[in-house]
């Protein structure tokens, strides 16, 4: 196992454990307001300081890890499933279906993803559920093109011809032979996609269109930094570092998988 993959797994494992056991690890209730502890710097009682409402920043970041990672995983899961289905159909059947699906992919790629998401979120009520669905429904084009290209090269191989010769159904060929052999590049893309989804959610939350307070996410914790940057540097530094390290972890993991599956 290469070093990039090990480092990536270690980073993501640490954040995943924090997210899973947030309730046990968190020293305070992330929504607990304490007017006597407004904008306290990092100290023994509050290791990462407090925000403008006296809430413990460490507790909010711990719970924010759960929200941000969940959104990233589910959004990319939705995008990958859609991409696998459409890309498989396009690559396997070809002809009119391939043309139809690929032209739809081209149309979707013409829209700047972030601004398309902004437009949809502005229409719908911002919520965790909506953010996951919207990111997933606007991020499937890459996986679709990847799986299509892989299936185009695989479907003429001897083992696929042998399956056809023994009367295997198209569903069986696609599900049990083509997709498993074509999944490598999709997994690499999905790992990068999780990092992108976390960054996208953080950007939306920073703009006030993502996860809504008081539910903490790394992005909406950063909202406060706009007005407290000169007073409370810790509100900017620690959530920003969490986002940076998490994205680096997924990038390392993606690079490691690429070398192994390569």
Whichever domain contains 78, its CATH number is 1.10.3720.10
Q: How large is the greatest C-alpha to C-alpha distance in the chain, in angstroms?
A: 77
DSSP-assigned letter for residue 35:
G
> Token match 């289905």: residue?
85
Examine residue 25 and state whether it is found in any structural domain, yes or no. Answer: no
Confirm if 67 and 219 have CB atoms less than 8 A apart: no
How many other β-carbons are positioned within 10 Å of the β-carbon of residue 39? 16
DSSP-assigned letter for residue 245:
H
Please confirm whether the linkage preceding 38 is cis (ω < 30° from 0): no
Q: Report residue 262's pLDDT band, with 50, 70 and 90 as the boundaries.
A: low
CA distance 140 to 251: 19
Examine residue 107 and state whether it is found in any structural domain, yes or no. Answer: yes
Examine residue 194 and state whether it is found in any structural domain, yes or no. Answer: yes
Examine residue 147 and state whether it is found in any structural domain, yes or no. Answer: yes
Confirm if 56 and 27 have CB atoms less than 8 A apart: yes
Q: What is the pTM of this model?
A: 0.89
Percentages helix, strand, coil for the chain, rounded to the nearest 5?
Answer: 75, 0, 25
Q: Report residue 1's pLDDT band, with 50, 70 and 90 as the boundaries.
A: low
What total number of domains does the chain contain? 1
Please confirm whether the linkage preceding 214 is cis (ω < 30° from 0): yes
Q: Report residue 83's pLDDT band, with 50, 70 and 90 as the boundaries.
A: very high
CA distance 136 to 218: 19
Examine residue 212 and state whether it is found in any structural domain, yes or no. Answer: yes
How many other β-carbons are positioned within 10 Å of the β-carbon of residue 56? 24
Q: What is the mean pLDDT of residues 179-200?
A: 90
Q: CA nearest 28: which of 53, 51, 60?
A: 60
Examine residue 80 and state whether it is found in any structural domain, yes or no. Answer: yes
So what's the pLDDT on residue 117?
A: 79
- Which range marks the domain in which residue 88 is found? 63-261
Average pLDDT for the chain: 89
Residue 72 has pLDDT above 80, yes or no: yes
Examine residue 27 and state whether it is found in any structural domain, yes or no. Answer: no
Examine residue 35 and state whether it is found in any structural domain, yes or no. Answer: no
């Amino acid at each position: 196992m290469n070093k990039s993959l090990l480092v990536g797994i270690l980073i993501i494992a640490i954040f995943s454990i924090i997210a899973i056991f947030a309730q046990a690890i968190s020293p305070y209730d992330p929504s607990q307001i304490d007017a006597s502890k407004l904008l306290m710097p990092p100290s023994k009682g509050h290791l990462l300081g407090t925000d403008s409402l006296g809430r413990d920043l460490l507790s909010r970041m711990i719970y924010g890890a759960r929200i941000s990672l969940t959104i990233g995983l589910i959004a990319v899961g939705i995008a990958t499933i859609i991409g696998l289905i459409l890309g498989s159909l396009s690559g396997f059947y070809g002809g009119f279906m391939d043309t139809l699906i690929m032209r739809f992919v081209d149309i979707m790629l013409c829209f700047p993803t972030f601004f398309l998401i902004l437009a949809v979120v502005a229409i719908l009520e911002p919520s965790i559920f909506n953010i996951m669905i919207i990111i997933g429904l606007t991020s499937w084009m890459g996986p679709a093109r990847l799986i299509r290209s892989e299936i185009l090269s695989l479907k003429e191989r001897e083992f696929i011809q042998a399956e056809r010769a023994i009367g295997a159904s198209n569903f069986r060929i696609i599900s049990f032979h083509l997709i498993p052999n074509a999944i490598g590049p999709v997994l690499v893309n999905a790992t990068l996609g999780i990092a992108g989804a976390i960054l996208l959610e953080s950007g939306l939350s920073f703009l006030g269109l993502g996860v809504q307070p008081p539910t903490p996410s790394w992005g909406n914790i950063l909202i406060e930094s706009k007005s407290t940057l000169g007073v409370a540097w810790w509100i900017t530094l620690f959530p920003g570092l969490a986002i940076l390290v998490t994205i680096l972890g997924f990038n390392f993991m993606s690079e490691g998988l690429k070398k192994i599956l390569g």
